[in-house]
Structure 1
Amino acid sequence: MPWHATRVAGVPTLAVALAVLVFALAWFGTLGVRHLLGPDEGRYAEIAREMLSTGDWVTIRYNGLKYFEKPPLHMWVTAISYTLFGIGEWQARLCVALAGIAGLGASMLAAARWFGTRAGLLTGLVLASAPMWNVAAHFNTLDMTLSGIMACVLASMLLAQHPSATPATRRNWMLACWAAMGLALLTKGLVGLVLPGLVLVVYTCVTRDLALWRRLHAPAGIALMLLVAVPWYWLVARRNPEFLRFFFIHEHWQRYTSTVHARKGALWYFVPLVVGGFLPWLGLLPGMVRAVRQRVGVSGAGTARPFEPALMAALWAVSIFVFFSLSGSKLPGYILPVFPALGILAGVALARTGERAWIRQLRAMLVVGALGLLASPYVATLDSNNTPNALYRAYAVWAALAFALALVSAAAGLWLLRRRGRMASIAAYALGMLLAFSTALLGHEAIGRSASGIDMVGPIERVLRPGMPLYGVDMLDHTLPFYLHHPLTMVAQADELSFGTEQEPQKWLPTVDAFVDAWQHGPRAIALVSPQTFAELSARVPMHVVARDWRRVAVSNFPITGAR
């Protein structure tokens, strides 16, 4: 029988292949459509560019200064992407897109192994169309890279504990789990070990299954994890003795236990993020709870305490949610690791959900889409110091289009349910949701283009020369250095580079007076300043405007022609 005539979980293989192709095009084809946003996207794109430029892959630098807030794996992958494909936006986002796909694929594999092929396919559809997961996979941040790796940790653990796994298979999957934790340690530090450890302890307390610990292959696994992670930590600490205290005390203990990073949030901070991030599938929540309570997938033949995969996934989501909710530092991306576990549970629930329940889900999304479409003109009324109203008005059109697509997706799901069955309905609905939220993201370019400063790059490049100082006066611009391929020299305010300026004080100007002296008596230079700072400084020293937008002004200390 030819491959295109075969079926996967009752679905024609050709249909599955076409769905995968469409999802892949939507997933990877949109990576380079938007310009980079600050702070995260520009920061990590520029760190990788400087890593590639200097050839130093051990001591992380940002704008030429030591930057030890995060380990290097994400930047290593991005620098490799630059090496293979050149420096650009989609190359900078390739790491997170691959992490998202890796986490999705691993979750599908684990769900298929424990709950059946259909549940595996549905897990993939759910996770790919979950807004938080697919949007985050198109933003150049470490949170998505960590979450993709953590999804592999969870999936490997689930696969290793399947009752039909041979001793060799269990060992290999557990070694893969430990290796993934080593990669997590190289992505965001100790959280890559703390989170799986927390989930394992909570699972053991709930089930009292102490025998699970004997199936972890801990001695060999810990050795493998350390082999993956320790060499970089050893090298960077050897070259930079100040690294260990800053990284483990300031960036781990103080970040979690205090508000030193000024990223406060209420105890319920992550609730709307999970609700919005899983919006298309919230109607499955009762079925997800039932899957846990009914111990779906459990096969206890010959064991006193069989492993419970649905419970493990649920405790993974709940434990990580509680862990970050109790933290003194909160950012939206922190909650991303819960979504693969939610995706697995939703895939199981969806495979067991009847037609009436699925119709209720589709009708609910019809209401959500209609309400969103009616409310989208409100976006056009917004205004703020950071984003002028004109940009919001441009984005309002895209917001309306995204809700319209969500509305159409739910309607298409209802139409296909009657004519092609539930699987076709779910697939069309999931694809429509992916396209809807991708549209909302792509439309953000209406705001993001000016925020990136890309329109200033051409005029600045015409006068900026290699080796010429590029000052950031009272501001750290996170995107222009990447686009200009030229690091900033900080002035007066070190911002998040304060650790680096303390270690290498000769690489910045600590006061405005020092800048004024360098501006008047030093070599030719370019400076980036805010409009307010420009008004203040231009009264003291000559400043020739090279380019400007609503948030920054680029000036030179020498006359130029053709500037705007």
Structure 2
Amino acid sequence: MTSPTISAPATTSPSSQTQSSAGPTRSVALLVISSLWMVIFFASLFAPPLLDDADATHANAARNMVLTGDLVTLKVNGIRYLEKAALPYWLDAISFRIFGFNTFAAHLPEAIGVLLLGLLGFHWSRRAYGDRTAFYTGLMILTSTGVFLFTRIYIPEVLLTLFLSISLYCLLRALENPSPRRSLHAYTMWAALALAVLTKGLVALVFFFGAAMIYLLLTAQWRNLSRIKPVTGLLLFLLIAAPWHILAGLRNTGGMNGHGFFWFYFVNEHFLRFLGKRYPKDYNKLPGYLFWSLHLVWLFPWSLFSPLAVIQGWRLRKRSAAANSFASNTTWLLGIYAGLVLVFFSISTNQEYYTFPAYLALLTLMSAAVVLSEKTYDQDQASRRWITVAHATYTIIGLAAAVALGYGLWSSRKLPFVPDIGELLAHRGVGDYTLSMSHFFDLTGPSFAALRLPASLAALSFAFGPAIAWLLRSRRRHLASTTTIALSSAIFLIAAHIALIRFAPMLSSANLAQKIQKLEDDHLVSRDSQILLFGDQAYGSSIPFYLGKIVYLVDGRSTSMLFGSTFPDAPPIFLTHEQLLKSWGTGQRKILFVPLEKRDEIDLLLGNNKVLLAETSGKALFTDRPLDHPLNHQ
């Protein structure tokens, strides 16, 4: 196979086989994409407050960076937190320094990452496939369910996806011949790859080099390795990625069984996690049928067009392999990369969001397939049939969802609005949930009384959006049809965010932190009261963030706190049941947070020897003595 030659952007090559039909101008497309980002992602930065578990835990690590100035060793609640790479916390720390310790600042870097991912998808698709595909790619990235859902909490997946996608794009640009900016693209590739490693660890190298090697072998471009500056580029990579890893290893030695950062981060968090033998074992693995089928949900509504991507890709496999254009090279690389990510996590332990790095690749390929099918809509019966099937499925799903939501609204029409939706949900053994979306199974019919506005918006979106999009498609108004799907999805995502705000009392303990602050302000409790969390810190991780204090953990030497607690300089914040009983009612006032999952356990332990301060969604604040009299503090 010959080396690829540079191909001009599809916008200037009408004869290109994969060029899209005319789309909106670049300025109009970018305006629409930016507006969608503003209403879906930027507007959602202010509420709800930080959620318990990973969201507030990661924010606590970044807060510690700001307060201590230690940019090397991550700490949560004073305990080493060595399982994560540092870059996302650096970005959060910068945001906190600018905007203060609040929800907006905590989630801003991730929201910017979504915008940059959408703009990268637009730019890459525009060069490879043309204006309309670029516009569709931007729309799909911003309105896919999974992209929205998995950026409601601060996890590094969107940043990892961004840096890996930049690396892959620059790989293709560096391999072009001739390319006046080949060196710039090559070094940008290595720099972005280093940032990806600093975001998520060695898995970034697996995905990039795995996809790159397969691509180079299949296209016979391994002969052009010199174009990506392997020697000087690798030096640049090490210059960016190595210092933090080295410093973290040198500063964190002498933990459990003599292990330090190097063992815990590289061996335990990478290799043992992949094998399902990570210590401690606090992750589940999705069953195979769920792992694969749930991608229809994470990429909804655009996943309905995935058969088109398979059909068009199969038809063009030989022609695109021989073309050696930027479009064909993009198709090959993105297909290989997405497949590698999906297969890797189908073998490894996984959470629902782990395959996020494949989203841009999959959505770009779907966008190209949809545009190609639109071009041949009148001539190609197979394309027209599958587009019709996608629209019919979308309309049926939409009507079914609208009916279900309408029934829920009707059945709850006489029920009063209850601000704390947690009181309306089934109180199951949610403490056993280890998958991120498990709490959705706790929704019950009466909860619609608290969700009337978002349920109404979602019902309207599902009832009319899919049908209007299908009608426009049948009239050959393809651009309007696809845009209507994106706008309908945007309305649904806005409704979903409003619903998330209503869930805040259940998913966050920020209101209980505010209760403690109010009691302190009213001089009903002393500001030097000891704050304790019963159970793992993840149950109430938003409390130490909003209070700005280190809290004590009762029976909480577990999960992310376990390894860090074995270092000799770990603060003595861990209490046993016996130590709690011994100190309860003596010395400083104790204020104890108890999650729903532990209420029965604390009742058995303390009995009636406790004073209830507040309760929300089954979570409670107890203290060990009556409240102070304000006059005592004057």
TM over 0.5: yes
For the 8 Å contact 1:395–1:447, the answer to whether it is kept is: no
> 1:232-255 CA deviation, whole Å, 9 max, x = no partner?
112222211211111111111111
CA contact (8 A) 1:296 1:310 kept: no
1:468-514 deviation line (CA, Å, top 9, x unaligned): 43212234222222222223222223122011211145422342112
Q: Is the 8 A contact 1:99 1:137 kept in 2?
A: no
- The 1:211/1:449 distance shift into structure 2, 3 A limit, reads farther
* 2:346 corresponds to 1:325: yes
Larger mean CA deviation between 115-124 and 352-361 belongs to 352-361
- Which amino acid letter does the alignment assign opposite residue 500 of structure 1? G
Does the 8 A contact of 2:216 with 2:222 survive in 1?
yes
Residue pair 2:24, 2:131 contacting (<8 A) in 1 also: no
Alignment correspondent of 2:416: none
- Report if the CA contact (8 A) 2:29-2:135 is conserved: no
2:603 aligned partner: 535
Q: Secondary structure at the match of 1:30?
A: helix
Question: Within the alignment, does 1:238 sit opposite 2:250 as a pair?
Answer: yes
- Provide the C-alpha distance between the structure 1 equivalents of 2:26 and 2:233, rounded to a whole number of angstroms: 37
| Residues 60 and 76, structure 2, Cα contact 8 Å, conserved in 1 | yes
Query: Hey, what does 1:188 align to over in structure 2?
Result: 200
> What is the match of residue 380 of structure 2?
none
What does the per-residue CA deviation read over 1:405-435, in whole Å, with 9 as the maximum and x for residues that have no partner?
1342223324555789322322232122122
Q: Would the alpha carbon gap of residues 382 and 454 (structure 1) be closer, same or farther in structure 2, given more than 3 Å must change? A: closer
**CA–CA separation in structure 2 for the residues paired with 1:258 and 1:425:** 45
| Greater Cα offset, 515-524 or 32-41 | 515-524
Report what 1:145 is aligned to: 159
Alignment of 1:42-53 (within 5 A): 42-53=56-67
Asked if the contact 1:114–1:162 (Cα under 8 Å) also holds between the matched residues in 2, the reply is: no
- Bigger shift: 28-37 or 357-366? 357-366
Distance 1:439 1:195, change over 3 A: same
CA contact (8 A) 1:369 1:404 kept: no
Distance 1:18 1:183, change over 3 A: closer
The residue aligned with 2:590 is 525
Moved more, 11-20 or 316-325: 11-20
The residue number in structure 2 matching 1:481 is 544
**Aligned 1:313-352 pairs, distance under 5 A:** 313-327=334-348, 329-352=349-372
> TM-score, normalising length from structure 2?
0.79
**Structure 2 residue runs without a partner (length 5+):** 1-20, 254-259, 378-383, 413-423, 431-441
- Given that 2:509 and 2:542 are in contact with CA atoms closer than 8 Å, whether structure 1 keeps it comes out as yes
Amino acid at match of 1:182: A
Distance change (3 Å), C-alpha of 1:112 and 1:125: same
SS in 2 for 1:279: coil
Which shifted more, 363-372 or 399-408? 399-408
Alignment of 1:98 with 2:112, yes or no, is: yes
Which residue of 572, 575, 587 maps to 1:507? 572
Alignment of 1:459-498 (within 5 A): 459-461=515-517, 462-463=519-520, 468-476=529-537, 477-496=540-559, 497-498=561-562
Alpha carbons of 1:16 and 1:107: their partners in 2 closer, same or farther (altered >3 Å)? closer
Question: Structure 2 vs 1, CA of residues 196 and 36 (structure 1 numbering), >3 Å: closer, same or farther?
Answer: same
SS at match of 1:471: strand
Q: Determine if the alignment matches structure 1 residue 24 to structure 2 residue 33.
A: no
Contact 2:51–2:508 under 8 Å retained in 1: yes
1:13, distance to aligned residue in structure 2 (A)? 5.9
Question: Any conservation in 1 of the 2:145–2:298 contact (CA below 8 Å)?
Answer: yes
The alignment partner of 1:308 has SS state of helix
**Judging changes above 3 Å, is the alpha-carbon distance between structure 1 residues 272 and 378 closer, same or farther for their aligned structure 2 residues?**
farther
Q: 2:273 aligns with which of 255, 266, 270?
A: 255
Name the % identity.
24
Does the C-alpha gap of structure 1 residues 207 and 419 become closer, same or farther in structure 2, counting only changes over 3 Å? closer
**Corresponding position of 1:444:** 500
Structure 1 alignment gaps of length 5 or more: 1-7
User: 2:434: which partner in 1?
Assistant: none
- Does the Cα contact within 8 Å between 2:591 and 2:621 map onto a contact in 1? yes
Change (3 A) 1:375 1:518: same
Matched, 1:369 2:398: yes
Q: Secondary structure at the match of 1:343?
A: helix
Equivalent residue number for residue 140 of structure 2? 126
Check whether the contact 1:35–1:452 (CA below 8 A) recurs between aligned residues: yes
Partner SS state of residue 550, structure 2: coil
* Cα root mean square deviation, aligned: 3.1
- In the TM superposition, residue 549 of structure 1 has moved relative to its aligned partner by 2.3
Task: Report if the CA contact (8 A) 2:129-2:327 is conserved.
Answer: no
